[in-house]
Every structure is written in structure tokens, then in C-alpha cells.
């Protein structure tokens, strides 16, 4: 996701997967992020899906968010969003990965 002024305005679909998990295509995504930067768009985070009923960031998600946070201290926004299906409806949750402390806080949208 890319943002201008705190508003998400760009999205790059990355189909890079391995087995049953998402593994970002770092080379492709870095090219996109570099292009966005030239256009004044800041990298804002990652959107991905989880198996049905799994609403929260996985340990791998949390670890990856911390790696991004530590490697790019200039970020003003770092959101990981999780899409899952439960009870025949989709649930989309946004986690603010720049929140103070070790926890991330969901911003729930139904």
C-alpha cells in the first residue's frame, strides 16, 4: 500500500506465494516503492489474506513488520491489513505496526 498525506492511494498486487503462505517478492516491491517515492507516495504497509477465521497477525507477520520498521525508521505509516472470511462474511482488520511498544492495535472495518 502507498499513501500520500496519510491516505492510502496506491496498491501493488503481488502474487508471490510459497506453499500456503505469502512471501513478498522483495525485488519487485522495492522497484514499485522506489517509483512511488519519485511520485511522492510513501510506502504504507502490506495487505494480505489469512485462512478463514484467523483475524490476527501471525508471528511471521509481526516479525516482518518489525524488520520493515527497523530498516526504515523514516516511515510515518506502517499498516498490515488482514482479510479473512468468517460466517459467510469477509472481515478486514488493519494493524498499526508503528504503535509504541510490542503490540499492534487492530482498526476493525466491517
CA distance 28 to 7: 23
* pTM, full prediction: 0.76
Is residue 57 within 8 Å of 65, Cβ to Cβ? yes
What pLDDT tens digit does each residue of the chain (110 aa) get? 888 888 888 988 887 665 666 677 889 989 999 999 999 999 999 888 888 778 888 888 888 888 998 988 888 889 998 888 877 778 888 888 887 655 566 665 55
The DSSP annotation for 12-78 comes to -----EETTEE---HHHHHHHHHHHHHTT-EE-EEEEE-STT--S--HHHHHHHHHHHHH-TT-S--
The confidence score (pLDDT) of residue 32 equals 95
Amino acid at each position: 500500500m502507498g499513501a500520500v498525506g496519510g491516505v492510502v492511494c496506491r496498491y501493488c498486487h503481488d502474487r508471490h506465494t510459497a506453499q500456503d503462505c505469502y512471501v513478498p517478492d522483495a525485488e519487485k516491491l522495492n522497484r514499485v516503492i522506489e517509483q512511488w517515492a519519485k511520485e511522492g507516495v510513501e510506502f504504507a504497509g502490506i495487505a494480505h489474506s489469512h485462512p478463514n477465521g484467523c483475524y490476527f497477525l501471525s508471528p511471521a507477520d509481526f516479525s516482518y513488520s518489525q524488520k520493515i520498521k527497523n530498516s526504515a525508521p523514516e516511515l510515518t505509516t506502517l499498516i498490515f491489513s488482514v482479510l479473512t472470511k468468517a460466517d459467510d462474511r469477509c472481515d478486514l482488520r488493519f494493524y498499526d505496526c508503528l504503535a509504541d511498544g510490542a503490540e499492534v492495535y487492530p482498526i476493525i472495518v466491517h
